[in-house]
Amino acid sequence: AIKEATFGMGCFWEPAESLLKQPGVLATTVGYTGAPPNKPPPSYDTVCFGNDYVEAVRVVYDDTILDYTTLLDKFFEVQKPGLSRQYASIVFVTDNNEEEEVNKWKTAAIKTKVKRTSDNLPYELVEIEPTSSFYRAEEYHQRYWEKQRLRAGLAVLLVAGASGAYDDFGGGVIGNFELGGLAFDTICNAVFLVGAGWMILERLVVRDVRELKSGDMILEL
């Protein structure tokens, strides 16, 4: 069956990408959850400067390929928890059966004194909470590192173009190219500056947080 699970994993950018690489994981979305029901919908700013919401990753997975216990192992392995509520390590459970399974998984690990091999992170750090309203984070947070790698590559190409690195390509065709009276290196420089400006601006103006109900991600596959 296709199922959903929600985890608080610290800063959600890298864990969301790491989980998406696991066989059986069909989709991940980063968002905010864990606040009391009377709290208004969050934004990245209110999460950063508040003590209610948790940065979380909602996962859609096929339990015929990846069972829930193995998914819990992957969650623990790739999480990046911090000290604040925002970056807490939490498994959000949907019912008593799921809560029992998580408690069994956590208790077994604690009894055997298992810790994460990379940094000795203890299983005692993992909290268990009931699922609450989940808000999909702003679009610029989704698949964040994938976007940043692409942007970084384009930035390198544009900086090279602005510095004249391509001027001799094609027998000097690129160096002599103009568009609207603007030289190729000027165009590269302008595009770079516009792109850099937009990265700053989107952080300030984009407010497309929306609530995801249980099952919404499955319907969107």
Catalogue the active-site residues. Answer: 11
DSSP letters along 170-221, please? GGGHHHH-EETTEEHHHHHHHHHHHHHHHHHHHHHH----EEE-TTHHHHT-
Dihedral angle computed from the Cα positions of residues 95, 98, 104 and 109, in that order, rounded to the nearest 10 degrees: -120
Q: Which two tokens stand for residue 191?
A: 């595009």
CA dist., res. 172 & res. 54, Å (int): 54
Match 């390590």 to its residue by tokens: 89
- The number of angstroms, rounded, from the C-alpha of 177 to the middle of its chain's C-alpha atoms is 40
Q: Where are the alpha helices (DSSP H) in 5-143?
A: 13-20, 44-48, 68-78, 96-111
Q: Which two tokens stand for residue 139?
A: 């679009």
